[in-house]
């Protein structure tokens, strides 16, 4: 029998529904792998084994006839991980910072509550860049997030721990957040699917003011179908959000606890049939005048050929925005770094964070308002330019990898920040526009490391983006590829015993730890 982590998250849930596995089997398997490999790849900052076991046992005790009513959807009993920037009631949330090393929130983020309502089981908190400020994850509260494909390289950020955990087989999928590429950058580096939803699709509550519309919670997964299933669980409308959600595809739950019909984003991904699309392809960097690595250009060539072969019209187009956007974006990024930090703890912040906050404090209200107005002018122009296109195709990054410590090696936080801009000159544009955007692995670099491309759709067209991403994923044929650590010792193989009977309680099982 395959090891549990060889199954996708959706497959694991199906095994639970069939009575072949229990939620506690999944939890124990992944806890064993976390204990063996988390520090190696810098995946988790906080692990919650007791809470996970208890939640799994409660789920396993629910009679089969009651499960769909109490926890609708295709993720029942499957473990997940929560990014350390995301509030979790009663569970330490450090925001990736030594300044918050002992911080324990009293409330859950809406997305945490919704994932629990879908029947997922949190195993803990994944490492994140300090206050979400960087595209790498190298802080002082946990080991650096390393790329499971090459431990000398970064897993990216700010959702670096989430990507490291998924790629190493420590969790089937993970919640992340993306304010400037923070899901898509780690996904591209680690050979995963990283998704940023349309602005307003996923609640950012219950606290916070919306970050000027830049950040959004989203999934990091090994497959597009797993990402879509996780998105279905997250994309439940919540009253009071500052941005109205787009219309949902058929079958998407309208409230937490609603039954998920045979539809939603998972159905779109499973069908992998977006219809014939007009796809605009470009490779010109948008936020920096930066040479693009040949491996990243080749990945776009590969994706374009695969999409054209699927029947789509792939046409060369100019980049919708250019380097003139950068001064506007960086102004907003400086202001976003001004998260409340106790004065007595500000000295514990990393040099980059301190620099961004210093620059943010120097920005006047008038400058901020003017910047936001000019950003909207730029967005309007860009949306008019791409109005006749269903999707945009471009590189995710300007180069395939970066070594751990490369961004900070000069000791100058200003140089660190500029290197980040040049390394990722594409992703943040689509946080500004609010469009749905996904990184999909399609090729290998000359060094054998995964390389992703971005597919970006029209606002609200998340189902189309996911269907096209699934189609591209199928044609690229890379879902069975894993880094060496995937096969390392410290994993569990569950022996299936008597299937659970419909309507009955969970039966006992045994696990072998190899």
Separation of alpha carbons 182 and 216, rounded Å:
10
Separation of alpha carbons 314 and 299, rounded Å:
15
Q: Among 182, 216, 398, 437, which one carries the catalytic annotation?
A: 182
What is the CATH number assigned to the segment(s) 4-488? 3.90.1300.10
Which residues are CB-neighbours of 377 under 8 A, at least 6 positions away? none
**Would you give per-residue pLDDT tens digits along the chain (514 residues)?**
689 999 999 999 999 999 999 999 999 999 999 999 999 999 999 999 999 999 999 999 999 888 877 777 899 999 999 999 999 999 999 999 999 999 999 999 999 999 999 999 999 999 999 999 999 999 999 999 999 999 999 999 999 999 999 999 999 999 999 999 999 999 999 999 999 999 999 999 999 889 999 999 999 999 999 999 999 999 999 999 999 999 888 776 666 655 444 579 999 999 999 999 999 999 999 999 999 999 999 999 999 999 999 999 999 999 999 999 999 999 999 999 999 999 999 999 999 999 999 999 999 999 999 999 999 999 999 999 999 999 999 999 999 999 999 999 999 999 999 999 999 999 999 999 999 999 999 999 999 999 999 999 999 999 999 999 999 999 999 999 999 999 997 644 433 333 332 333 222 222 222 1
Separation of alpha carbons 84 and 99, rounded Å:
13
Q: Among 122, 158, 398, 439, which one carries the catalytic annotation?
A: 158
Separation of alpha carbons 436 and 431, rounded Å:
9
158 catalytic, yes or no?
A: yes
pTM to 2 decimal places:
0.93
Q: Among 23, 38, 83, 398, which one carries the catalytic annotation?
A: 83
83 catalytic, yes or no?
A: yes
∠ at Cα 182 (180, 187), nearest 5°?
130
State how far the alpha carbon of 59 is from the alpha carbons of 13, 21, 113, 216, in Å.
12, 12, 16, 29
Which residues are CB-neighbours of 215 under 8 A, at least 6 positions away? 132, 177, 178, 179, 182, 204, 431
Tokens for 373, please give them: 């107005």
């Amino acid at each position: 029998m395959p090891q549990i982590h060889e199954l996708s998250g959706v497959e694991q849930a199906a095994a639970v529904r069939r009575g072949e596995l229990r939620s506690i089997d999944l939890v124990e398997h992944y806890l064993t792998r976390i204990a063996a490999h988390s520090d190696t790849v810098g995946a988790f900052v906080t692990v919650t084994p007791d809470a996970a076991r208890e939640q799994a046992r409660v789920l396993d005790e629910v009679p089969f006839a009651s499960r769909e009513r109490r926890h609708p959807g295709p993720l029942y009993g499957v473990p997940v991980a929560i990014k350390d920037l995301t509030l979790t009631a009663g569970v330490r949330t450090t925001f990736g910072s030594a300044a918050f090393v002992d911080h324990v929130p009293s409330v859950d983020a809406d997305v945490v509550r919704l994932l629990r309502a879908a029947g997922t089981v949190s195993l803990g908190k994944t490492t994140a860049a300090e206050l979400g400020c960087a595209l790498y994850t190298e802080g002082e509260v946990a080991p650096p997030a390393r790329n499971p494909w090459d431990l000398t390289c970064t897993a990216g950020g700010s959702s670096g721990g989430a990507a490291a955990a998924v790629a190493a087989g420590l969790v089937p999928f993970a919640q992340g957040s993306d304010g400037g590429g923070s899901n898509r950058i780690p996904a591209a580096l680690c050979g995963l699917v990283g998704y940023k939803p349309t602005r307003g699709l996923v609640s950012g509550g219950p606290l916070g003011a919306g970050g000027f519309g830049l950040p959004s919670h989203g999934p990091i997964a090994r497959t597009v179908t797993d990402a879509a299933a996780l998105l279905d669980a997250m994309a439940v409308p919540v009253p009071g959000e500052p941005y109205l959600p787009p219309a949902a595809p058929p079958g998407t739950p309208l409230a937490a606890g609603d039954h998920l019909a045979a539809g939603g984003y998972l159905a779109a991904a499973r069908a992998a049939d977006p219809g014939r699309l007009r796809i605009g392809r470009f490779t010109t960097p948008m936020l920096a005048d930066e040479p693009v690595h040949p491996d990243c250009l080749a990945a776009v060539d590969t994706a374009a050929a695969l999409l054209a072969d699927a029947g789509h019209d792939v046409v060369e187009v100019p980049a919708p925005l250019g380097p003139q956007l950068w001064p506007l974006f960086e102004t907003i990024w400086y202001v976003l770094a001004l998260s409340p930090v106790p004065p007595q703890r500000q000295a514990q912040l990393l040099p980059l964070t301190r620099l961004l906050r210093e620059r943010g404090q120097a920005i006047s209200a008038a400058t901020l308002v003017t910047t936001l107005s000019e950003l909207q002018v730029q967005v309007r122009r860009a949306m008019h330019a791409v109005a006749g296109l269903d999707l945009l195709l471009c590189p995710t990054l300007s180069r395939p990898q970066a070594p751990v410590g490369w961004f900070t090696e000069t000791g100058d936080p200003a140089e660190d920040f500029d290197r980040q801009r040049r390394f990722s000159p594409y992703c943040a544009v689509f946080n500004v526009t609010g469009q749905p955007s996904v990184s999909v692995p399609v090729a290998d670099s000359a060094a054998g490391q995964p390389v992703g491309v971005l597919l970006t759709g029209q606002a609200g067209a998340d189902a189309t983006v996911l269907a096209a991403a699934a189609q591209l994923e199928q044609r690229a044929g890379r879902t069975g590829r894993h880094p060496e650590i995937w096969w390392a010792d410290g994993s569990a193989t569950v022996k299936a015993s008597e299937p659970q009977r419909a309507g009955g309680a969970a039966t006992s099982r045994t696990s072998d730890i190899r």
